[in-house]
Structure 1
Amino acid sequence: MAARNKRIRERGALSVKIVSYSVAAFFIIVSVIPLLWMISSSMKDNISIYKFPPTWVPKVPKSVNITLNYDGTKLQKPEELELDAMEAIWFTWKKMQNEAIGSMRVTGIKDGHVVYIAYMPAYNFTIGRPQIVPTQLATDATMRIKLPQIRERGLTEFRMLGSGGAEYHGATAVPAELPETASTVQRLISESKVVKGELQTISESGDWKRLFDNYIVLWQMASGDDNAYGFQHFLLNSVIVTGATIVSQLLIGGMAGYALAHLVRRRIGGWLTLFFVATIMIPELAILVPLYLTMDKLHLVNTLWGIILPHTAWGIVIFLFKGFFEQLPGELIQAGRIDGASEVHIFWRIIIPMSTPIFTVVSVMTFIAVWNEFLWPLVVAKSPQVWTFTVALNDFQNRQSMGANVIMSSLVIATIPLMIIIISCQKLIEKGVSFTGLKG
């Protein structure tokens, strides 16, 4: 016991530990809070994001069920009933576009029988709203013009049952007390001058599956335009550009780093490395115009190669490879040369197997930079065919009035690959950085 009390304690060690853990906890919280807010916002409606005080838990969207009675009306033809159902759904939803409505179902009854059922989820309304109901104007003429487009794009499911439909056994009157969303829908349909059917009953229920509709919007955002491409096409372009860039960086940067570390004199290698590192100090905007003119002369503007080629070899990558290769035991390289192996053979069979950490570091660094790049793809990619997802998001936001909630869902999708790669490669990244000359 006495020996334990006589143990030498470093003065201030406890304070250093407290400060270290406090700073680490602070930065973790600062990093995690925006991520959690982004995930939460991706499942909200567009208005809830801006409410104050902010709410972290998304509101469960409401599924609204409406029953319209056509007794006493002259509507009998399927196209007339379909038109009335579309007006009840689209015009009502347009006026409530900022509410958390997950889906709307309209059941039409006549003479005690169900004559049609119409259904539309929230993501179809978000996709079709800019073209179908761009304004608050609600007239029969407007919907007659838009009805063929609704059918062609499959925005609203409509099933005509006719006089042979099942007997209606549901409620026959609107409840005395309604939830807020259903009450608003009741008022709008009752006051509507275009909906012919009489509102017989209305109800609402929570539909948690509609929390993920913003992600479906991304996949179907461009589905209504001629020669348009969906978000998956732009995501694939980003994967191709990023993958090709990583391969070129590993191949060219790795071989250049090996040459500077082991194939040229140390002094010459030092000056050449200084030249490559100096390229980092050149601002991207300063070379943007010359780079574009070069791609134009090579006829690579508006191609994926035009996006990829400027990223085939970075000075910082060559510097990292050189620093790592210099730490490798030279005896193995000399042994390979004595055995008659060529430098290419030595690089592929000896250097690469021992250099997994630095290849991982360069791959992750390149992935982060190219995956999130916006300026150069925006300049060189003119047509949607070669857009990356960052350029596509900018276009969707400008032309299709994409809400902040859909933007957040796209950012979540873009963040998932980054998180997977960084978490899975964390140990190799730490090991690679410790051997590149950047430690300390």
Structure 2
Amino acid sequence: MAARKKIRERGEIAVKTVSYAVAALFIIVSVIPLIWMISSSMKDNISIYRFPPTWIPEMPRQVEVTLNYDGTDLAAAEDYELDAMKAIWFTWKKMQNEAIGELVVTGVKNGKKVYTAAMPSYKFTVGRPEIVPTQLFTDAMMRLKLAIIREREFTQFEWYEQAVPYESTLQLPEQLQELSAIVKQQMDDSNLIAGQVAAISEHKDWKRLFDNYFVLAQFANGTAGSYGFPHFLLNSVIVTAGSILSHLLIGGTAGFALAHLVRGKVGVGLTLFFVATIMIPEIAILVPLYLTMEKLNLVNTLWGIILPHTAWGVVIFLFKGFFEQLPGELMQAARIDGASEFRIYWRLIVPMSAPIFTVVSVMTFIAVWNEFLWPLVIARSPSVWTFTVALNDFQNRQSMGANVIMSSLVAATVPLMIIIISCQKLIERGVSFTGLKG
């Protein structure tokens, strides 16, 4: 028997070609900014603005400098530490636009090592607004800042009580790499450093690619205490989780009541009421909402951020649309067996409604996780800031570079991507049953 030929509709190939081309275009347009964000999160602040743009981050380099103190009158450990801090912070301030991953300074005298000081790039980024806020750099200023450097552990300083032999010949290589040459020039031109550059070298350090993420954990700000970025992420997690749970409990039960318990004009009126709340812009109720939270003494608390998200009209509408699609025969059979409406909901409806619960959870997560305006208004203290408010403050008051902002956006985007990718099938099933088709 001859093989049956497949019947093709006219223009079918053209439609498929255009469809796949448009889908591929949208994927590319969506992925390119994501790739650029991840790439920029591992760059220094200047590389982001280079033209033509570079997609692959430049590998940071560790620069090791040997300072020779022969002929100087330095003797006490504090004097050497002060000179090491001036060498590191002065040089880095002058070269803050270079891709230095870590600066290590070793002090030697009479052929023996007396100290080693080191500071990675993220420590400089965190300490720069406090230690060297301007280009003005003096000996007196560094003496005042030394206590802060010690307290905040910006720079590691190791003092050798008994000087150890130093094997270097204390000779500079004939051909310095470009970065090393700039470092040497800056230190030679400085009249603040007592030691003289005797040797210098550099090598690539891939671990420093992730220093922008360490900056997030180190940044601190606010009068109510010092909080790192993980604290603000935790606040966002608490607020988002509380909002999701309230939607699942309140929105789910309200949607079930509208779908199967409240009938007639009352049910229609309540449904229209919840739908009407969707049309009210957030900015219109901002002041009344704030005054309400103030009367409840919930200003500057996490509860004050969570409570306005406990029941959205759109959530109740979605639950109602899904529950109406469920077979009524099962509920009728449960009622005949003597089950209460509460038991029917928890033992019968909830197990069958995983798709809509997933849709509501993801929808709430996206909205609350990225929310900025309401947390900014209600949260006065850094202790209750969400990460969106913290990012705004960091950028305005700490002069955070674009590279650190990119790393914070990556840290905030990763949970969202994981949730959406892992719940994709349930989301598709849930939307198909809510009545929001097309």
Give the Cα–Cα distance (whole angstroms) in 1 for the partners of residues 425 and 169 of structure 2.
63
What corresponds to 1:57 in structure 2? 56
What corresponds to 1:347 in structure 2? 345
Give the 3 Å change call, closer, same or farther, for CA 393–223 of structure 1 in structure 2: closer
What corresponds to 2:34 in structure 1? 35
CA RMSD of the aligned region, Å?
Answer: 1.4
Q: Percent identity?
A: 73
Query: What is the CA distance between 1:207 and its match in structure 2?
Result: 0.5
What corresponds to 1:233 in structure 2? 231
- Of 399, 423, 426, 2:424 maps to 426
Pairing of 1:158-307 with structure 2 (within 5 A)? 158-162=157-161, 164-222=162-220, 227-307=225-305
Query: What is the CA distance between 1:265 and its match in structure 2?
Result: 1.1
Any idea what SS the aligned residue of 1:104 has? strand
Any idea what SS the aligned residue of 1:165 has? strand
| 2:139–2:192 Cα contact (<8 Å) kept | yes
| 1:116–1:161 Cα contact (<8 Å) kept | yes
What corresponds to 1:111 in structure 2? 110
Any idea what SS the aligned residue of 2:164 has? coil
Give the Cα–Cα distance (whole angstroms) in 2 for the partners of residues 397 and 433 of structure 1.
38
Runs ≥4 in structure 1, deviation > 3 angstroms? 1-4, 223-226
Normalised to the residue count of structure 1, the TM-score between the two structures is 0.97
Give the Cα–Cα distance (whole angstroms) in 1 for the partners of residues 215 and 304 of structure 2.
29
| 1:333–1:346 Cα contact (<8 Å) kept | yes
- Of 392, 412, 415, 2:390 maps to 392
- Structure 2 counterpart of 1:139, one-letter code: T
Which whole-Å deviations, capped at 9, do the CAs of 1:187-207 have from their partners, x for residues lacking one?
000110100101101111101
What corresponds to 1:17 in structure 2? 16
Query: What is the CA distance between 1:223 and its match in structure 2?
Result: 7.6
| 1:91–1:136 Cα contact (<8 Å) kept | no
Give the Cα–Cα distance (whole angstroms) in 1 for the partners of residues 314 and 421 of structure 2.
23
What corresponds to 1:135 in structure 2? 134
| 1:138–1:194 Cα contact (<8 Å) kept | no
What corresponds to 1:122 in structure 2? 121
Query: What is the CA distance between 1:15 and its match in structure 2?
Result: 0.5
| 2:77–2:159 Cα contact (<8 Å) kept | yes
Query: What is the CA distance between 1:227 and its match in structure 2?
Result: 1.8
Give the Cα–Cα distance (whole angstroms) in 2 for the partners of residues 84 and 104 of structure 1.
14
Q: Aligned pair 1:336/2:334, yes or no?
A: yes
Query: What is the CA distance between 1:271 and its match in structure 2?
Result: 2.6
Pairing of 1:400-411 with structure 2 (within 5 A)? 400-411=398-409
Farther-moved stretch of structure 1 (215-224 vs 390-399): 215-224
What corresponds to 2:47 in structure 1? 48
Give the 3 Å change call, closer, same or farther, for CA 235–65 of structure 1 in structure 2: same
Any idea what SS the aligned residue of 2:284 has? helix
| 1:153–1:224 Cα contact (<8 Å) kept | no
Query: What is the CA distance between 1:27 and its match in structure 2?
Result: 0.7
Any idea what SS the aligned residue of 1:176 has? coil
Query: What is the CA distance between 1:140 and its match in structure 2?
Result: 1.2
Any idea what SS the aligned residue of 1:161 has? strand
Any idea what SS the aligned residue of 2:200 has? strand
Give the Cα–Cα distance (whole angstroms) in 1 for the partners of residues 232 and 222 of structure 2.
16
- Structure 2 counterpart of 1:212, one-letter code: F
| 1:237–1:388 Cα contact (<8 Å) kept | yes
Give the 3 Å change call, closer, same or farther, for CA 171–61 of structure 1 in structure 2: farther
Any idea what SS the aligned residue of 1:158 has? strand
- Structure 2 counterpart of 1:394, one-letter code: N
Query: What is the CA distance between 1:225 and its match in structure 2?
Result: 7.6
Which whole-Å deviations, capped at 9, do the CAs of 1:61-116 have from their partners, x for residues lacking one?
11000000000111111111111100000000000001111000001000010011
- Structure 1 counterpart of 2:276, one-letter code: A
Give the Cα–Cα distance (whole angstroms) in 2 for the partners of residues 409 and 179 of structure 1.
29
| 2:224–2:383 Cα contact (<8 Å) kept | no
| 2:222–2:382 Cα contact (<8 Å) kept | no
Give the Cα–Cα distance (whole angstroms) in 2 for the partners of residues 171 and 338 of structure 1.
95
- Structure 1 counterpart of 2:72, one-letter code: T
Give the Cα–Cα distance (whole angstroms) in 1 for the partners of residues 347 and 170 of structure 2.
80
Normalised to the residue count of structure 2, the TM-score between the two structures is 0.98
Give the Cα–Cα distance (whole angstroms) in 1 for the partners of residues 98 and 272 of structure 2.
59
What corresponds to 1:326 in structure 2? 324
Give the Cα–Cα distance (whole angstroms) in 2 for the partners of residues 316 and 297 of structure 1.
27
| 2:243–2:306 Cα contact (<8 Å) kept | yes
Give the Cα–Cα distance (whole angstroms) in 1 for the partners of residues 183 and 29 of structure 2.
41
Give the Cα–Cα distance (whole angstroms) in 2 for the partners of residues 226 and 301 of structure 1.
15
| 1:87–1:194 Cα contact (<8 Å) kept | yes
What corresponds to 1:71 in structure 2? 70
Give the 3 Å change call, closer, same or farther, for CA 360–436 of structure 1 in structure 2: same
Give the 3 Å change call, closer, same or farther, for CA 276–67 of structure 1 in structure 2: same
| 1:106–1:117 Cα contact (<8 Å) kept | yes
Farther-moved stretch of structure 1 (336-345 vs 241-250): 336-345
What corresponds to 2:372 in structure 1? 374
Give the 3 Å change call, closer, same or farther, for CA 143–7 of structure 1 in structure 2: closer
Query: What is the CA distance between 1:224 and its match in structure 2?
Result: 10
Query: What is the CA distance between 1:172 and its match in structure 2?
Result: 1.9
Q: Aligned pair 1:86/2:99, yes or no?
A: no
How many pairs were matched up? Answer: 438
